[in-house]
Amino acid sequence: MAQHFHLISCISTLFLLLLVPSNSENLKAKKPRPFGFLNHLQGCKKGENLAGLRELKQYLSKFGYLNYNFSKGPKNDDFDEVLEAAMKKYQANYNLKITGTLDPETLSKMVMPRCGVPDIINGTTRMKNTKANHRHRNHRPKKLHTVSHYSFIPGYPRWPAGKTHLTYWFDLTTTHPTAIPPFVRAFDKWTTLTQYFSFEETSDYEASDIKIGFERGAHGDGSSFDGQGGVIAHAFAPTDGRFHCDADELWSIGAIEGYMDLESVALHEIGHLLGLGHSSVEDAIMYPSIPSGVVKDLHADDIGGIKALYNI
């Protein structure tokens, strides 16, 4: 067991060194975490005015819980009724005690590394899958699992009927070959457990259905990365096919404290590529956040979501 772990550690370290450009700073240099600004806000509640609350509003807006116009940034640091309502919605989605305050349990969830895809898109999607989520929609799946907690991207974007074999392409200018096997294993798991989709790597960029790469900061898709420990990856709904990982993260192959397991993250983002939204089941791969050093796999909730979406 010890030898096996040592081997994983060596492979992971090699992968990290090869992935990050040689002129980068020390991989483990301590820098402010993207969500670290939340820490000094612990315990804040309605009626308070506290420096940093506007950043909390930006955070909740980024992930779909607020609809403020932030083109010029939040206008104040007031903890008002709108912010309290957003906090309660967040707590409900994450199965937390609904207090409306930034209590310790809520804070621990909010600072965790997570997917960049919002939990709520255009104010119409929640992480919980109920009949109410599906009323008055066209082309909806026939199977509504009201006891499940997966969700779908608004409008139910799906790959066309008959389009079950998808090709994927790696941007080798940003993705070192050492990083490729975890993606391949993730695609294989979706193939095995859905018994519907199959995937194949291609070198043809134009013809590929899915395009994978590692990016930093603003990279032209309107969804910037923010460095280590914040947004770790994002992917777009069918049939867009773009899938980006944050090159500034500390990535690993396997469970290593302080590093993000690439295969687990790939499994999550492939779910978005197929049309799944976020789940409120913490063990599901489509749960929005994942701690460093944790390895996850597909869950019955994830498979149930795909089968419901595609009427399998």
Per-domain residue ranges of the chain: 36-111, 131-309
11, 45, 100, 101, 219 from 42: Cα distances, Å = 38, 9, 12, 8, 32
Domain spanning 36-111: which superfamily?
Answer: PGBD-like superfamily/PGBD (1.10.101.10)
115 is in an annotated binding site: yes
Of residues 42, 62, 45, 296, the one with CA closest to residue 182: 296
Considering the segment(s) 131-309 as one domain, its CATH architecture is: 3-Layer(aba) Sandwich (3.40)
227 assigned binding-site residue: yes
219 known member of a binding site: yes
Single pTM value for the model:
0.86
Contact assessment for residue 151 and residue 129, using Cβ atoms and an 8 Å cutoff: yes
pLDDT in tens for each of the 312 residues of the chain?
A: 333 333 344 444 445 544 444 344 444 455 788 999 999 999 999 999 999 999 999 999 999 999 866 555 577 999 999 999 999 999 999 999 999 999 999 999 999 999 999 999 887 655 764 333 333 334 455 443 444 689 999 999 999 999 999 999 999 999 999 999 999 999 999 999 999 999 999 999 999 999 999 999 999 999 999 999 999 999 999 999 999 999 999 999 999 999 999 999 999 999 999 999 999 999 999 999 999 999 999 999 999 999 999 999
Mention every residue, 6+ apart, whose C-beta is less than 8 A from residue 137: 155, 156
Report whether 249 belongs to an annotated binding site.
yes
Which candidate in 25, 200, 269, 282 is catalytic? 269
Residues 33, 35: Cα–Cα separation, whole Å: 5
44 marked among binding-site residues: no
- Backbone dihedral angles phi then psi of residue 208, each to the nearest 5 degrees: -70, 145
Taking a C-beta distance cutoff of 8 angstroms, is the pair 176, 18 a contact? yes
Burial class (CB in 10 A: 0-12, 13-18, 19+), 90: buried
Q: Is 181 exposed, middle or buried (0-12, 13-18, 19+ CB in 10 A)?
A: middle
Alpha helices in the chain (DSSP H): 2-19, 53-62, 81-93, 104-110, 180-194, 262-274, 300-309
CB 216 within 8 A of CB 225: yes
What's the DSSP call for residue 78? B
209 assigned binding-site residue: yes
Q: What is the CA radius of gyration of the chain?
A: 20
261 is an annotated ligand-binding site residue: no
Q: Looking at this protein, which amino acid is placed at residue 284?
A: A
Active site residue 269: yes
pLDDT at res. 122: 80
